[in-house]
Structure 1
Amino acid sequence: MKMKKENIAEIARQAEELLSPFCTCRGLVLHGIPHLRRVAILSGRLSKAVGEDVESAVVMGFLHDSARKNDGNDIEHAHDSAILARELIERFFPHLDVDRICDAIEGHADGEVTKDPLTACLWDADRLELKRIGRTIDTELLSTKVAKRLARRRQHGLKVSEEVLQSRKPEGFLLVPQPGEGV
């Protein structure tokens, strides 16, 4: 099923409606549906900034912890989520690059960086979510310039608008301070 390309939040809503019944993480506090939704939306926004497919990034973001069994040390969750994601993507989104998406999901918890821009959207979106549980974001573990700038802005308590996410500089995608804000 191709998602209607209205906007990222709408694509995420459609993905959630379609995919959440299959997610074993539904009842989790830290890694439940609200977390999947936030990562899906941020992954979609990052994908726009780096020129990747928004639908792929949103679906990938929503499925990255889909098979998580608990909020603790579920060391197999990335592997299990990649297996579930493959099944769901082949069923509902056969037009998406299932191998690329599942490779990104499988590796999202390994603590590495990547040069693949679609993979980077997921890994960076999930790592930017660490602030919600009081953890400091290690910018060395972010793969994109835009995510590094976003992390710095968030650490300084600065808001990030859609326009800021879409700012593009010749040296890559960077966030720029809004008038009156310094980073």
Structure 2
Amino acid sequence: MPHSHDYGALLQVILRGYVLPHDGYHGVYHWARVWENGLRVAESHGGDAEVVRLFALFHDARRVNEHVDPDHGLRGGDLAHSLRGSLVHLDDTRFELLYEACRLHTDGHTTGEATLLACWDADRLDLGRVGITPRAELLCTDAARGLIPWAQARATTDERVHEVLGLWGHVSGLTPEI
């Protein structure tokens, strides 16, 4: 039987090493929207929901600035790798999907395995937080293209996804005890 993930514990470990503001452009509220975006895409298009959830937490977990940071996805994947067997419980095939989704998420790919596409679209759908409207032709799936207006409204208002934040043990507006 597969392990379930302790998202609160994962979030605490990630935030201990996160050097940017937790409520910044690439922080916790962004991760929560990416989580929800990704689950919606995966539900419609296909993809491994558990990998999508973990991608939301790890893809920007080791950014060192809010602007240009070309290796941050690789560092996020490496962080997930360092937690394999303790807090990250995926078989080799699923872990490779998570690692590749993190590593390649800023490279602009639009074709590939369904889980990768759900992850990449989940992040791109939240571009409104930095003043960019996602362009349909740069998204991977029709499912994501259909979510642009909904996701854009949430991103531009920096919406807090309370259901996801609560699942993580994160009280909106407050930093968890770490």
The interval holding the TM-score normalised by the smaller chain is 0.7 to 0.9
Aligned to 1:122: 119
Cα distance between partner residues in 1 of 2:114 and 2:136: 16
Cα distance between partner residues in 2 of 1:92 and 1:84: 11
The 5-angstrom pairing of residues 26-175 of structure 1 reads 27-28=20-21, 29-96=24-91, 97-151=94-148
Aligned to 2:10: 19
> What is the deviation of 1:21?
2.1
Q: Number of residue pairs matched?
A: 147
CA contact (8 A) 1:104 1:122 kept: yes
Change (3 A) 1:87 1:154: closer
Q: What's the secondary structure of 2:109's corresponding residue? A: coil
Q: What's the secondary structure of 1:68's corresponding residue? A: coil
Cα distance between partner residues in 1 of 2:76 and 2:131: 24
Residue 123 of structure 1 aligns with an amino acid whose one-letter code is W
TM-score (norm 2): 0.72
> What is the deviation of 1:43?
1.1
Cα distance between partner residues in 1 of 2:46 and 2:118: 10
What are structure 1's unaligned runs of at least 5 residues? 5-13, 158-183
CA contact (8 A) 2:73 2:104 kept: yes
What are structure 2's unaligned runs of at least 5 residues? 154-178
Cα distance between partner residues in 2 of 1:69 and 1:82: 15
> What is the deviation of 1:3?
2.9
Aligned-pair identity (%)? 28
Post-superposition Cα deviations, 1:125-175, rounded to whole Å, max 9, x if no partner, equal 1001001221121211111111012125666x6xxxxxxxxxxxxxxxxxx
Q: What's the secondary structure of 1:146's corresponding residue? A: helix
> What is the deviation of 1:65?
0.6
> What is the deviation of 1:34?
1.3
Change (3 A) 1:136 1:3: same
Q: What's the secondary structure of 2:38's corresponding residue? A: helix
Aligned to 2:4: 3
TM-score (norm 1): 0.71
Cα distance between partner residues in 1 of 2:36 and 2:3: 17
Cα distance between partner residues in 1 of 2:130 and 2:87: 32
Larger radius of gyration: 1
Cα distance between partner residues in 2 of 1:49 and 1:135: 24
Change (3 A) 1:140 1:25: farther
Cα distance between partner residues in 1 of 2:130 and 2:90: 35
CA contact (8 A) 1:3 1:55 kept: no
